[in-house]
A and B are shown apart, each in its own frame.
Chain A
Amino acid sequence: MGMKDTLERLCRAYGPTGRESETSDVIEAMVSPYVDRVKRDAMGNLIAERKGGGKGRVMLSAHMDEIGLMVIHIEKNGFLRVCAVGGVNPIRSAYRQVAFGNGVRGVVGVETKKLRDTIKDPSKLTFNEMFVDIGAASCEEAAQQVEVGDVAVFMSDFMVMGGRVSAAAMDNRAGCAVQVEVLKALGESPMDLYAVFSAQEEVGLRGARTSAFGINPTVAVALDVTPAGDTPGSVPFTVDLGRGPAVKVLDSSVICNPSVIAWLEEAARRAGVAWQREVLTAGGTDAGAIQSSRGGVPSGVVSIPTRYVHSPAETVDISDMEGAAALIVQALETGYDQ
Chain B
Amino acid sequence: MAVLLRKLTALSGVSGYEDEVRQFIWKRARDCADRVMIDRLGSVIAIKEGDEHSDRNVLIDAHMDEVGMLVSGIDEKGFVHFIPIGGMDARILPSTRVLVGSGRVRGVIGIKAIHLQQGDEQGKPIELDKMVIDVGASSREAAQKLVSVGDPVIFDSKFTLFGDGMVKSRALDDRVGCALLLEALEERYPVTVTAVFSVQEEVGGMGARAASHRTRPDAALVLEGTTCADMHGVPDHMRVTRIGKGPAITPMEHSAIADPALLRLIRGAAEREGIPWQYREGNLGGTDAGPIQLAREGVPVAHITIPCRYIHSGVSALSLQDFNNGKRLLRATLMRIHRLFEKED
A residues within 8 Å of B by Cβ?
Answer: 17-19, 41-43, 45, 70, 72-73, 75-76, 81, 83-85, 128, 148-149, 200, 203, 206-207, 209-211, 213-214
Contact = CB atoms under 8 A, between A and B. Distances in A.
A174 B240 CA distance: 36
B296 A214 contact: yes
Contact of A214 (B237, B263, B282, B297): B297
A19 B252 CA distance: 12
Nearest to B250: A149
A72 B297 contact: no
9 contacts: A41-B298, A42-B297, A43-B298, A75-B237, A84-B283, A85-B257, A203-B257, A210-B296, A214-B296
A149 B279 contact: yes
Contact of B238 (A43, A128, A207, A210): A128
Given A83-B282, A206-B293, A75 B252 contact: no
B236 A73 contact: yes
Contacts of B282: 72, 83
B268 interface: no
Interface string B233-275: 0011110000000000001100001011001000000000000
A73 B299 CA distance: 27
A180 B236 CA distance: 45
Contacts of A203: 257
Contacts of B296: 210, 213-214
B59 to A, nearest CB: 13
B281 interface: yes
A148 B251 contact: yes
A45 B279 CA distance: 26
Contacts of B300: 42
Interface footprint category on B: 20 to 34
A73 B239 CA distance: 10
A306 B235 CA distance: 39
A76 B235 CA distance: 12
A200 B263 CA distance: 17
Nearest to B251: A149
A85 B252 contact: yes
B294 interface: yes
A262 B260 CA distance: 42
A125 to B, nearest CB: 15
A207 B297 CA distance: 9
Q: Nearest 4 pairs between A and B by C-beta?
A: A149-B251, A210-B298, A18-B257, A81-B237
Contacts of A70: 251-252, 283
Contact of A209 (B263, B281, B294): B294
A73 B294 contact: no
A149 B263 contact: yes
B196 to A, nearest CB: 18
A100 B238 CA distance: 22
Given A42-B298, A70-B283, A203-B257, A149 B293 contact: no
A221 to B, nearest CB: 20
Contacts of A42: 259, 297-300
B283 A72 contact: yes
Contacts of B259: 42
Interface in B211-236: 235-236
Contacts of A209: 294
Given A72-B237, A148-B279, A149-B251, A213 B297 contact: yes
A214 B294 CA distance: 12
Nearest to B297: A214
A128 B252 contact: no
Nearest to A294: B296
Interface in B285-316: 293-300
Contacts of A81: 237, 281
| Residue from A41, A148, A200 with most neighbouring chain B CB atoms (10 Å) | A148
Contacts of B293: 43, 206
B209 to A, nearest CB: 12
Contacts of A45: 298
Interface in B54-94: none
Nearest to A127: B283
Contact of A17 (B237, B257, B263, B299): B257
A19 B260 contact: yes
Contacts of B297: 41-42, 210-211, 213-214
A17 B259 CA distance: 12
B247 to A, nearest CB: 15
